[in-house]
Amino acid sequence: MQLLTEFQIQYLSPIHYDYPAWPGGERWLQLYETAEGTQIVFTKGLSNGDDFLFEIYLESDELIIPEDFGSSWQANLVYETGRVLPRIPDFTTRLKINTYLSLQIDMDGAPEEWSLNSPDGNIGLFMGLPSIKLSDLQFLPLNIKLMRPQELSYSIQNDKDGRIKLAELYMKQGDSTISNLERESVV
């Protein structure tokens, strides 16, 4: 992978007011290009090598111009996930027990076809799909995948069994770790 650009979520910036500290002490979003032609938005600073072993990432085949990285939907989803995960008690244990998790976040301006009308958050993210592309890292890569509203509803209604079924359907659909705005719903 090749690093294309990065930006720091600065502690003293009013733009990032109330953004939580990350366990690893740093707060960066980085944009990489893979050998397969996809791009990956990675966090840097979530993993502390102790009780929080993960860096989250979103892989997309919709290319981001490096100059527009900070305003891309891909970076925004990772940014918002980085706002939530450090505040979840025993996140590592929850992920080990469940294998797959879903997360709802609030995002203004999301396309209607990707937005669920819910007080708990309008955008769904699926977490935990395995990647064969990412290995030999000093942390565990945790994929987040953009969910269609129907998939998020299915996950909410069917809990753990629903997430297991969604993971199977994502893998069957192909390119399971890739998020893009053209993907059809699997349910």
- The pTM of the full predicted model, rounded to 2 decimals, is 0.92
On average, the pLDDT of the chain sits at 91
Residue 79's identity, in one-letter code, is Y
What confidence tens digit (pLDDT) does each residue in 97-108 have?
Answer: 999 999 999 887
pLDDT band, residue 116 (cuts 50/70/90): confident
User: Cβ(76)–Cβ(146) under 8 Å?
Assistant: no
Question: d(Cα 151, Cα 44) in Å, to the nearest integer?
Answer: 29
* Structure confidence at residue 158 (pLDDT): 96
Categorize the per-residue pLDDT at 111 as very low, low, confident or very high, splitting at 50, 70 and 90.
Answer: confident
Q: What integer pLDDT is reported at residue 121 of this predicted model?
A: 78
* Tens digits of residue pLDDT in 147-179: 999 999 999 999 999 999 999 999 999 899 999
Interval 21-31: pLDDT, tens: 999 999 999 99
